[in-house]
Chain A
Amino acid sequence: MIKKALSASYLGIILLILYSPILIIIIFSFTEAKVLGNWTGFSLKLYTSIFSGGIHHSLTNALWNTLIIGLVAAFVSTALGTMAAIGIYNLLPRTQKTIKMVNTIPILNPDIITAISLFLLFVSLGFSQGYITVILAHITFCTPYVVLSVLPRLRRMNPNLYEAALDLGATPFLAVRRILIPELKPGMLSGFILAFTLSIDDFVVTLFTIGNEGLETLSTYIYADARKGGLTPELRPLSTIIFVTVLLLLLVINKKAAKLKL
């Protein structure tokens, strides 16, 4: 009993500390001050400003781009990474090690180096930069994380299941779909979430692969904004709204999953 209470409070405290900056953002979204941390009295003006079209059109563009890039990059990374993990698992140990080592490079590399190396690559190939280059760049640094999430699940899996399916007459593809994927699903899901999270928060890599056609993501918008004249105050209610929405969504999905499972 006490153990449970202690564990729960341990998690609770950590979560509280983790969320305290977020709380600050939420609290200060209810004031008009330009600087985060100044309180000029309670006011809903920032919220109304967002909804009455006060939001900069390029901010909405940026938000939309970030979402699309994030989803596409996450999907492709998950697919690519899962396939790769399956392949790696079945390789000879020596080749396995080499590929795993190369796979870790994007994780270890400082992101500014990944950024300029990809920039140089695209420039020397004459690739015109834009959506595609950004997505490719994101896939580059996201896939290793997917591979790392899926591989362990492969190791835990009973290796005979796949063989058994083949023996029973399934084609390799059917066996993969019906046997492997369900086993790997948790790993794939966590890889996907990780990839998406990394993608939407990325700044430097996006900055150097974004080209010159006016493409912007949330990160590039916010950083550019923060340099001159300070962070747009509207970002506080915007972040609050996004955050609360995602939180609610999560809880709803969780409740629904509970109903289905039970």
Chain B
Amino acid sequence: MVILIVLAAGISFLSSCKSSDESRKKILKIYNWADYIDEDLLTEFPVWYKEQTGEDVKIVYQVFDMPEVMYTKIAMGKEDFDLSCPTQYIIEKMLKNDLLLPIDRNFGKTKDYMGNVSPFLLERMDAFSVPGKKAADYMLPYMWGTSGLLYNKDKVSDEEVKSWACLWDQKNKGKILMKDHYWDVYNMAAIFGCYPDIVSGKRSRYDVSNDHADEDIAMVEKQLKALRPNLAGWEADFGKDMMTKGTIWLNYAWSGDAVWAIEEAAQVNVSLGYEVPKEGSNIWFDGWIIPRYAENVKAASYFLNYLCQSEVALRNMDISGFCSAIATPEIIEALKDTTLTETVNASYFFGPGNEMLQLNPIQYPDSSVVERCVLLHDFMDKNDQVLEMWSRVKGNNL
């Protein structure tokens, strides 16, 4: 009897794992974060693709919990994913290590929607280009945002969070969670520490964030070591949860997470807010890339084109809760919130004529906020040094 059960199970799984006879060219393998795309699109795209090209395609969708896993699998295992959507620092690393394929923009008779991406992001992204490879050819920004402070309005005043200094304030001891991510934290400490230089014009924010000079690293180390006793701990993803519970008052957060947290906290009568402090912060984005071992570049490129349409972008924004890189008038129309009293100057994103838009300022920060945000670069050859500094900061357990 037992043998029968085993056999039955064996047959059922064997038959399901035998890949179909479809040639690999008819499959599109996508590797993405969870809850980051409207999954109905995965069934609608093949229909659109057939209309546009007359070819069939089937999407195989897989999720990762961390993009590092994706990087590892591709770098060490030569996995043949066609598309993936990692964060910008992984993209930079992949481009540098020759792990990306260019997007094929020969769309034939199909309209090229990829121009819908905000030039603002394309410009910033260009900083990732390496000799011979323009960044814009290899990646498509998907969602973007700022990093800043998520704070509990009842415990920390709006004034206090206008500066990163509130993190070092004894009054908030044990109520702060920092991101367990050396990139963001380094940047924050560097900008905060060098703020006098920035104000006086001696150094630009971009330099402070991306120079990684030895003196900067040493200064950051001092700052962070002073910060550590004030923290409750470090987190990678549960920070926003704890903010909604009210046990933590301050959390370094990304704008998309902040929007989620504010909404969730409101349901339990906790009032949260988000602010990008005056010293400055960074802009981040996730982008789609085609890994080196992809086998269906054509369908992958068409998929990216598909994603750039306004309606599709709106649906993805809705599901993920983050802010899309697509900048079209349709988006403004769909997202504008006439109940808002303050407007944002979003012309940097949507183009001239959009100086007074009624949009959620966390999703679409005012140009004054964006001016004090930089795009972060890979630490390159300073990486080991910064990592060592980071482990000294995180310190011994005792």
**Which residues of A are in contact with B by a Cβ distance under 8 Å?**
32-40, 58, 68-69, 71-72, 75-76, 119-120, 123, 128, 130-132, 135, 207-208, 211-216, 220-221, 223-230
By the criterion CB–CB under 8 Å, are A75 and B264 in contact?
Answer: no
Residue in contact with A224 in the complex, picked from B17, B65, B73, B321, CB distance below 8 Å: B65
By the criterion CB–CB under 8 Å, are A228 and B33 in contact?
Answer: yes
Q: How many Å lie between the Cα of A213 and that of B309 in the bound state? A: 27
Q: How many Å lie between the Cα of A35 and that of B73 in the bound state? A: 31
Instruction: Give chain B residues whose Cβ lies under 8 Å from the Cβ of A131.
Output: 13-14, 16-17
Q: Which residue of A lies closest to B59 (CB)?
A: A214
From known contacts A34-B264, A68-B12, infer whether A130 and B77 are also in contact, taking CB-CB under 8 Å: no
Instruction: Give chain A residues whose Cβ lies under 8 Å from the Cβ of B78.
Output: 123
**Which residues of B are in contact with A by a Cβ distance under 8 Å?**
2, 5-6, 9-10, 12-14, 16-17, 19, 29, 31, 33-36, 60-66, 69, 73, 76-81, 236-237, 240-241, 244-245, 260, 264, 267-268, 320-321
* 6 pairs of A and B residues whose beta carbons are closest in the complex: A131-B17, A224-B34, A224-B63, A214-B60, A223-B65, A224-B65
By the criterion CB–CB under 8 Å, are B267 and A40 in contact?
Answer: yes
> Which of A36, A40, A75, A230: most chain B CB closer than 10 A?
A230
Instruction: Give chain B residues whose Cβ lies under 8 Å from the Cβ of A135.
Output: 13
Residue in contact with B13 in the complex, picked from A68, A211, A223, A227, CB distance below 8 Å: A68
Q: Which residue of A lies closest to B61 (CB)?
A: A214
By the criterion CB–CB under 8 Å, are A225 and B268 in contact?
Answer: no
Q: How many Å lie between the Cα of A208 and that of B80 in the bound state? A: 14
By the criterion CB–CB under 8 Å, are A75 and B12 in contact?
Answer: no
By the criterion CB–CB under 8 Å, are B34 and A130 in contact?
Answer: no
Q: Which residue of B lies closest to A39 (CB)?
A: B268
By the criterion CB–CB under 8 Å, are A229 and B267 in contact?
Answer: no
Residue in contact with A212 in the complex, picked from B9, B34, B80, B268, CB distance below 8 Å: B80
Residue in contact with B241 in the complex, picked from A123, A220, A230, CB distance below 8 Å: A230
By the criterion CB–CB under 8 Å, are B60 and A130 in contact?
Answer: no
From known contacts A33-B264, A35-B264, A224-B65, infer whether A212 and B36 are also in contact, taking CB-CB under 8 Å: no
Residue in contact with A216 in the complex, picked from B5, B62, B69, CB distance below 8 Å: B62
By the criterion CB–CB under 8 Å, are B245 and A35 in contact?
Answer: yes
A sample of 30 cross-chain residue pairs with beta-carbon separation below 8 angstroms, ordered by A number, consists of: A32-B267, A34-B264, A35-B245, A40-B268, A72-B6, A72-B9, A75-B2, A119-B76, A123-B78, A131-B17, A207-B69, A208-B73, A211-B79, A212-B31, A214-B60, A216-B62, A220-B63, A220-B65, A221-B34, A225-B35, A225-B63, A226-B237, A227-B65, A227-B236, A228-B34, A228-B237, A229-B35, A230-B237, A230-B240, A230-B241
Q: Nearest Cβ in chain A — how far from B359, in angstroms?
A: 22
By the criterion CB–CB under 8 Å, are A229 and B65 in contact?
Answer: no
By the criterion CB–CB under 8 Å, are A224 and B64 in contact?
Answer: yes
Instruction: Give chain B residues whose Cβ lies under 8 Å from the Cβ of A38.
Output: 244-245, 264, 267-268
Instruction: Give chain A residues whose Cβ lies under 8 Å from the Cβ of B6.
Output: 71-72, 75-76
Residue in contact with A213 in the complex, picked from B14, B34, B60, B268, CB distance below 8 Å: B60
Instruction: Give chain B residues whose Cβ lies under 8 Å from the Cβ of A216.
Output: 62-63
By the criterion CB–CB under 8 Å, are A35 and B244 in contact?
Answer: yes
Instruction: Give chain A residues whose Cβ lies under 8 Å from the Cβ of B61.
Output: 58, 214
Q: How many Å lie between the Cα of A226 and that of B66 in the bound state? A: 11
Q: How many Å lie between the Cα of A207 and that of B62 in the bound state? A: 11
Q: Which residue of B lies closest to A212 (CB)?
A: B79
By the criterion CB–CB under 8 Å, are A119 and B63 in contact?
Answer: no
Q: How many Å lie between the Cα of A109 and that of B140 in the bound state? A: 40
By the criterion CB–CB under 8 Å, are B77 and A225 in contact?
Answer: no
> Which of A130, A214, A216, A221: most chain B CB closer than 10 A?
A214
Residue in contact with A68 in the complex, picked from B9, B66, B320, CB distance below 8 Å: B9
Instruction: Give chain A residues whose Cβ lies under 8 Å from the Cβ of B19.
Output: 128, 213
Q: Nearest Cβ in chain B — how far from A6, in angstroms?
A: 38
> Which of B6, B65, B69, B80: most chain A CB closer than 10 A?
B65
By the criterion CB–CB under 8 Å, are A227 and B9 in contact?
Answer: no
By the criterion CB–CB under 8 Å, are A229 and B321 in contact?
Answer: yes
Q: Nearest Cβ in chain A — how far from B379, in angstroms?
A: 23
Q: Nearest Cβ in chain B — how far from A5, in angstroms?
A: 39
Q: Nearest Cβ in chain B — how far from A146, in angstroms?
A: 15
Q: How many Å lie between the Cα of A69 and that of B321 in the bound state? A: 34
Q: Which residue of B lies closest to A32 (CB)?
A: B267
By the criterion CB–CB under 8 Å, are A227 and B66 in contact?
Answer: yes
Q: Nearest Cβ in chain A — how far from B26, in angstroms?
A: 14
By the criterion CB–CB under 8 Å, are B77 and A119 in contact?
Answer: yes
Instruction: Give chain A residues whose Cβ lies under 8 Å from the Cβ of B81.
Output: 212
Q: Which residue of B lies closest to A79 (CB)?
A: B6
By the criterion CB–CB under 8 Å, are A33 and B13 in contact?
Answer: no
Q: How many Å lie between the Cα of A216 and that of B321 in the bound state? A: 24
